[in-house]
Amino acid sequence: MSRDDELERIAREVVDCGYQLHRDLGPGLLESVYEILLWRLVEARGLLVKRQVPISISYQGVVFDNAFKADLLVEDRLLIELKSTERHDPVYAKQVITYLRLMKLPLGLLINFGMPTFKEGIRRIANDYHSGWSQA
């Protein structure tokens, strides 16, 4: 299995877990609750998941350790950023692409559990990554 195929398999597992979580609990909970529950669901599938992963930034010799925190990082390859709001703000996607660039990762999922349906709340965001999937 190629690295891209493996990344896509990981992404499918996370999407399936997120769908299950949204189906069972629906919108309206705090982001931190969804984070812990999604972490547990993905981990139960045998994947390595880290929570609140520090992200550093360096610019013109100035280094900010722990400048940001990524909600979840799966298998050190897939970034998951979670929200629980009633609408998608464009800044959320910009945040994810910035995190992907800083962490030198190819793919992230922005999951907003506050939307009425899971499909409305999920978005794939790529950083110089081209798979067989189309971008939403």
Q: What is the pLDDT of residues 49-60, one digit of tens each?
A: 999 999 999 899
Task: Enumerate the domain spans of the chain.
Answer: 16-126
Mean local confidence (pLDDT), 36-51: 98
Cross-sheet strand order for the sheet of 107-112: 49-59, 62-74, 78-83, 107-112, 122-126
pTM for this entry: 0.90
Average pLDDT, the chain: 92
Candidates 3.30.70.260, 1.10.3210.10, 3.90.320.10, 3.60.15.10; CATH matching 16-126: 3.90.320.10
Secondary structure (3-state) at 69? strand
